[in-house]
Amino acid sequence: MATSASDLLESRILLYYCFTPIEDPIAVMLWQRTLCEQLGLTGRIIVSKHGINGTVGGKLGSCKQYTRKTREYPGFARMSFKWSEGGAKDFPKLSVKARDEIVAFGSPDEIKVDANGIVGGGTHLKPEAVNKLVEERGDEVVFFDGRNAMEAEIGKFKNAIVPDVNTTHDFIAELESGKYDDLKDKPVVTYCTGGIRCEILSSLMKNRGFKEVYQIDGGIVRYGEKFGDQGLWEGSLYVFDKRMHMEFSNDSKQLGHCIHCEAPTNLFHNCINEECRKQQLMCDDCASNPATAHCGRAECAEVGAQMAASSL
Ligand SMILES: [Zn+2]
Ligand SMILES: [Zn+2]
């Protein structure tokens, strides 16, 4: 393929994952690291015996070459890449690692993959099929948030159940707690940002007796691209880059509130206490005043008060 001017001038970010058996994750990790270094891509890639998960950025031409070279590995031939605005500047460095899991649910030995992906996961639904299911089955359908509870504070599917999890590691205990046993005979639609977390979550749910489990193809991102704020999604989408959140249209509902003064906001701020840094929803006024720029814990409030006093 010839190199065009735009290949050199423009930049992009690639987001992708693929579940496929990988004999030797270390070898794939080393190959991916060399490939990215040669192409000048930065970002983050994790390889495990179950597959690969990555976000990389760089010149448009380099991204094109990366997708071509990566698909040469037979297990990755069917991998789809999501292209988005941005580039190498969005990532401080290149990190390519081999781990036990590409998403840390703490279940590396429970997940089974074959050449078609995860074995025994939830049925994939395209965005249109999600709406059709709800039209046909009505209130029986339950949306189940596959993200960290914090992410749902600013946006979620209508009437979704938001499990009490701080990280994906908490899901198994949550599913086994008995809290959701009444959902085991209902149609449950799991969703997460781009779909990868639900690939695993939906299979963990099926293994624990949830009989009718679905997952949204391409996650909230693809659903939002299709229906914006005119469908079953409400609010903002939490994103893992410096934007922190995104909206699908100007009509998006504002679900979040400042933890200090209740003012509507969809922006998370780090706690002012350097040793905490917990992200909490705060309005701009509260976040810009050291006395209120804390996460709410007593020790952090004290740090904030001290900083406020010393800045007088
Ligand atoms: Zn406030
Ligand atoms: Zn704090």
What distance in angstroms lies between residue 242's CA and the mean position of ligand 2's atoms? 20
Mean pLDDT (whole number) for 198-222: 97
Ligand 2 centroid to 295 CA: how many Å? 4
Number of the ligand closest to the Cα of 300: 2
- CA angle, residues 269, 82, 212, in degrees to nearest 5: 85
- Whether 271 is catalytic is no
Sign of the torsion angle spanned by Cα atoms 142, 145, 149, 151: negative
Nearest-10 crossing angle of helices 127-137, 219-227: 80
Q: Which ligand is nearest to the CA of 278?
A: 2
Distance (Å, rounded) from C-alpha 164 to C-alpha 110?
A: 22
**pLDDT value at 88 more than 70:** yes
213-218: average pLDDT: 97
pLDDT at 62 over 80: yes
| pLDDT at res. 8 | 86
Q: How many whole angstroms from its chain centre is CA 51?
A: 17
Judged by average pLDDT, the poorest of 34-48, 85-99, 183-197, 238-252 is: 238-252
Task: List 96's β-bridge partners, or say none.
Answer: 45
Which residues have C-beta within 8 Å of that of residue 159, sequence separation ≥ 6? 143
Q: Kindly name the residue from 18, 36, 192, 258 that is annotated as catalytic.
A: 192
Query: What is the CA(45)–ligand 1 centre distance, in A?
Result: 37
For residue 7, what pLDDT band results from cuts at 50, 70 and 90? confident
pLDDT-based confidence at 130, cuts 50/70/90?
very high
Q: Is 233 exposed, middle or buried (0-12, 13-18, 19+ CB in 10 A)?
A: buried
Ligand in closest contact with the CA of 296: 2
CA of 241 to the centre of ligand 2 (A): 21
pLDDT at 1 over 70: no
How far away, in angstroms, is 15 Cα from ligand 1 center?
Answer: 34
**Closest to 143 in 3D by CA, of 129, 160, 167:** 160
Report whether pLDDT(64) > 70: yes
**What is the CA(296)–ligand 1 centre distance, in A?**
12
Indicate which ligand has the atom closest to the C-alpha of 287: 1
Per residue in 258-271, pLDDT (tens digit) is: 999 999 999 999 99
Q: What is the mean pLDDT of the chain?
A: 95
